[in-house]
Amino acid sequence: MPIATVNPANGETLKTYEAMGEEELGRRLQLAQATFRTYRTTAFAERARLLNRAADLLDEEGPQIARVMTTEMGKPVRQARAEAAKCAKAMRWYAGHAEALLADEEPSEADVKDSGASRALVRYRPMGPVLAVMPWNFPLWQVVRFAAPALMAGNVGLLKHASNVPQTALYLEDLFHRAGFPEGCFQTLLIGSGAVDDLLRDERIKAATLTGSEPAGRAVASTASQMIKKTVLELGGSDPYVVMPSADVDRAAEVAVTARVQNNGQSCIAAKRFIVHTDVYDRFAERFTEGMKALKIGDPLEEDTEIGPLASERGRGDLEELVDDARRGGASVLCGGERPDRPGWYYPPTVLAGVTREMRIHREEAFGPVATLYRAADLDEAVLIANDTPFGLSSNVWTRDEAEVDRFVRDLEAGGVYVNGMTASHPAFPFGGVKRSGYGRELSGHGIREFCNITTVWHGA
């Protein structure tokens, strides 16, 4: 795949870039290693000053980089501006909390004495250069949620971004450089996916994080495991959105629209499977379908556009195949389901009912604005349908019954359970999944410690 900016609203190639050669990659790896030796000893206050400066710059430049993101991958520009603001917020959160999150931990006096020590502690130390393999769908946020904690922990970062967002990738390197981080603290590597394996095998890379597809995760995890290197994987999702009779059904249907079509439906944590109790199914289906139909499709650079194009022609083709397979299998198309007659890689908000286990869309992630509706007879069936997926990233539950909430929290196989609301990431809360949605956690204290050497320090009596 070429490294290029191709506007998904019209298919026009705007900029192309040459992939870095072996010599340049080697230079950058050497620089990362050398920078880490000194950067790891900087004080938290200095790291925080630099990260806060990066946040200030991002706030100032938010409108400009938002337009770049929209031009590269098609998200509505209002959502792109919100993404930039969210990144600045996360930077400030880690700048303000990292020192406390990584403070030395002291065991109890009794345990210290029992170990035969005069004193003991646990210290979090940075690991070194970390490779980040990142996707195009949230081209700023996916990177910042790795970079902010990694830099505050004293690590340095090397970014292999998706090949269709090179301008955003280069902007991130420039942002951290202009904020004052030492050269080599954060570098963008303009390379294809075929170069990742060699990077993982390089001894200068100490760990890796990937957000992306299941095949990409398998490839990175396989090589990293051979090299015995730590990895964090955030992969696909087919999140359930369960609505029970006690819920505010109208509100649940309203939020469901946003939960499904955020980022043009191209989000791992978007709700994709809507599992509704039979007592309120018809009402929810009607309200939800009305909301999906009402969304405005248009130029993503226009302020009132709610649905822009998908990021690539191939992505649209994959989505169409899933919908066509479901239609052939007997699913009902309540709205959408047909490619609009216009330039660009657009696909309309689509609702499918009558989906069965035999259909591909039941097992595979639909990466676009396509929702599937399921009818559940009771809570037990709702849980069964929700868990009948290879993925387990997050989940959404709508109910006013606390006993039902307890059951869902206990039984849903997911990294998060959001009650009476939609899944959203926040720097204070850990984010990640189970099953084929990956392992490890990003954000919060859990995320910043993923790439730390957890060190026991023991002093004899």
Asked if 83 contacts 137 with a C-beta cutoff of 8 angstroms, the reply is: no
Asked if 76 contacts 83 with a C-beta cutoff of 8 angstroms, the reply is: no
Q: Write the single-letter amino acid at 432.
A: G
CB-based contacts of 174: which residues, under 8 Å, 6+ apart? none
Give the distance, in angstroms, between the CA of residue 183 and the centroid of all CA atoms in the same chain.
27
Q: What CA–CA distance (Å, rounded) separates 26 from 33?
A: 11
Handedness of CA 179, 163, 147, 91 (dihedral sign): positive
Q: What CA–CA distance (Å, rounded) separates 195 from 202?
A: 11
Of 159, 441, 396, which is closest to residue 284 (Cα–Cα)? 396
Asked if 241 contacts 408 with a C-beta cutoff of 8 angstroms, the reply is: no
* Torsion from C-alpha of 142, 147, 153, 155, nearest 10 degrees: 130
**Collapsing DSSP states into helix, strand and coil, what is residue 326?**
helix
Query: What are 431's two structure tokens?
Result: 């984010």
Q: What CA–CA distance (Å, rounded) separates 128 from 336?
A: 49
Asked if 51 contacts 150 with a C-beta cutoff of 8 angstroms, the reply is: no
User: Which DSSP symbol is given to 312?
Assistant: -
Instruction: Tell me the residue ranges of DSSP E strands in 127-257.
Output: 129-133, 156-160, 186-188, 207-211, 230-234, 239-243
Catalogue the active-site residues.
234, 268
Residues in the chain: 461
Of 323, 40, 342, which is closest to residue 182 (Cα–Cα)? 40
